[in-house]
Chains A and B, each alone.
Chain A
Amino acid sequence: MSGLPNYHALKVDAAKCIGCTHCMKACPTEAIRVIDGLAVIDHERCVDCGQCHRSCPTQAFYVEQDDLTKIRAFKYRVILFPSIMIGQFPEKYNETQIYSGLKKVGFTHVFEVEQPIQLLLDSVNEYLRNEENPKPAISTYCPAIVRLIQGRYPSLTENLILRKAPHDLAAHFAIERLLLEGAQREEIGLFYATPCIAKIASVKSPVGERESIVDGIVNMNHLYNEVMKVISEVEAEDNSEQRQNLSEEGILWSQTRGESGHFGSRSIAIDGIHNVVRFLERLENDQVKGVDFLELRACDQSCAGGILLTGNRFLTVEKLERRAKRYPSAKDISESTIRVDIEELKQKLVIDSISPKPLFIFGKDRVKAMEKMTRAQRIVCSLPGIDCGACGAPNCHALAEDMVNGKAKMSDCIFLQQMWEDEGKITARKALQNVQKKWGKDRFKADCNKRGRRNEGF
């Protein structure tokens, strides 16, 4: 699979979307508009954080994934998944049963991605020791955050740590291990079970890399359902040797404070994309002093709060904390257990560069941009400032910007229309037609069976 330039797995199901504006309001990059009564994502602006998916009352957002039967094409079929997945299963299934369940689904090798985590730990520390790298260094663990920074905080792109995420580590590790077992590279198929949309995009079109080494992606909730169909109720055969490189630190890595505790003398961990946005505003204003390391995650409770998970995030966190206690510390896992060439693996964790991709510019021509902004400012004066979303844009400001970019009209504002009616500038019929154009013809008729009415509430 080659890396697509701007891949987004998130799609809107037109049959389910009721155009309710919830997603539009939740989006941290104002990437959603409602057009013809349906949510439409601007893929240029989308950072794959999944807030829209989370806020949707009708589950109209769905996530594209690869067909699981695709794995059959390979002799060695590897499933890579974050430790979080183990925390999804009911308490009565232990990890031995879950591992053997994954094999029953069709995989030949099972790898949790956070191993051998010491390599990533050392690599990031090495990066932090270099005085030339700007502080605070920001973790690139969460791909939604990386894209948010590239787009909305381009000047902070240089603070991103040029190191890959655990799934890359595990992918390379798995390949090396299988090559040692005598496999040929082309016989190995790597599949990644993802807890979120952002990871899909980062695996399919990785930031700072040419192409992905993963052959397919499967949504974690889908895989969970598949495993639950075949999982054995009785204790499975011992397969603990497959977890020899897993450590306490690794299991906790994807959780909030999973990274921050290891790096720098002053570090901060923030989860939830809106919290991150508020913090990055401050950081960009140079109002944050003396911090060495930032762990920023788009989801509340980090990956335990990923949108493709089945379990409750707080229960998942607690389960994993208990699980982690049973595992050794990363530094106690000896190199002989890792077996592959550690230096070579470490080399593969380095990213060359990440470039800013500013999203919020009004075009390259400054004079034209200023003209547009001046016009947008004037338009805002005429808008009510209620930010109701009835125009199909998330707030009055966004509507004004859409107007100067030729994507919206004054008549999209229902309050302005009301005034024009009062002033006799347009007829009531014309006003209604305008609104219907935006929201669909029968949207305003009394109808208990229309979409969004029956049992689809909140």
Chain B
Amino acid sequence: MEGVWGRLFILKLIFSIQGGDFTHAGHPSSEVKKVLKQLDIDGKTIKNIVIALYEAEVNVVAHAWRGTVDVEIDESKITILVSDEGPGIPDIEQAMQAGFSTASKQVREMGFGAGMGLPNMKKNTDELYIESEVGKGTTVKMVNNFS
């Protein structure tokens, strides 16, 4: 996107996530929401993005050791990259099924790990890509177009 000075305007936001820290899950999604509101993106689109990002955050917190969230916003879309160092997903297709969960009993008792994470992300994004290597980690890329 070209600004008035002929420069490309891409807003970037970077966050880190600590595995196991449920208390602070939701911070990146709140911050992203704030920025999108300032850009006057419509409420429905913001809601989809925030839900998808929060699910992704919780996935990292529940399963991985640590992760980062990289957000890029341009005039027409938001691209969110959530990458973690963690156990990875052996069977992505299976993980995409609603209700499938590998979350520990402990995580489930906290009200997370219902097996809706990836399906919810799919539902709330325009594009979703998942790459994973068992024993190393997972990278999720989500794209939402602005109306």
Contact = CB atoms under 8 A, between A and B. Distances in A.
A358 interface: yes
A225 interface: no
A370 B9 contact: yes
A374 interface: yes
A60 B39 CA distance: 35
A356 B37 CA distance: 12
13 contacts: A155-B43, A281-B30, A287-B26, A360-B38, A361-B39, A362-B38, A367-B9, A368-B4, A370-B1, A370-B74, A373-B35, A373-B38, A374-B10
Interface in A278-293: 281-282, 284-287
Nearest to A158: B43
Interface residues of A, number: 24
A429 interface: no
A285 to B, nearest CB: 5
With a 10 A CB-CB cut-off, give which of B9, B33, B75, B146 has the most chain A CB atoms. B9
B8 to A, nearest CB: 10
B46 interface: yes
A407 interface: no
Interface in A4-32: none
Interface string B1-21: 111100001110000000000
A159 to B, nearest CB: 11
A303 to B, nearest CB: 30
Given A287-B26, A367-B1, 15 more contacts: A154-B43, A282-B26, A284-B47, A285-B33, A286-B47, A358-B40, A361-B37, A367-B9, A367-B75, A368-B4, A370-B1, A370-B11, A370-B39, A371-B3, A373-B39
A374 B11 contact: yes
Q: Name the 6 nearest CB pairs between A and B, nearest first.
A: A155-B43, A361-B40, A370-B9, A371-B3, A286-B51, A285-B50
Nearest to A367: B75
A371 B43 contact: no
B37 A370 contact: no
A427 interface: no
B1 A286 contact: no
Interface of B: 1-4, 9-11, 26, 29-30, 33-35, 37-40, 43-44, 46-47, 50-51, 54, 73-75, 146
B54 A286 contact: yes
B29 A285 contact: yes
A377 interface: yes
B35 to A, nearest CB: 7
Contacts of A284: 33, 47, 50
A285 B26 contact: yes
Interface string A146-183: 00000000110000000000000000000000000000
A369 interface: yes
B47 A370 contact: no
A366 interface: yes
Contacts of A362: 38-40
Contacts of B10: 374
A364 interface: yes
B9 to A, nearest CB: 5
A94 B40 CA distance: 54
B115 to A, nearest CB: 15
Contacts of B43: 154-155, 356
A364 B40 contact: yes
Nearest to B50: A285
Contact of B73 (A155, A363, A364, A370): A370
A117 to B, nearest CB: 33
Contacts of B34: 360
A361 B36 CA distance: 9
A155 B39 contact: no
Contacts of A285: 26, 29-30, 33, 50-51, 54
B39 A369 contact: yes
A370 B75 contact: yes
A360 B37 contact: yes
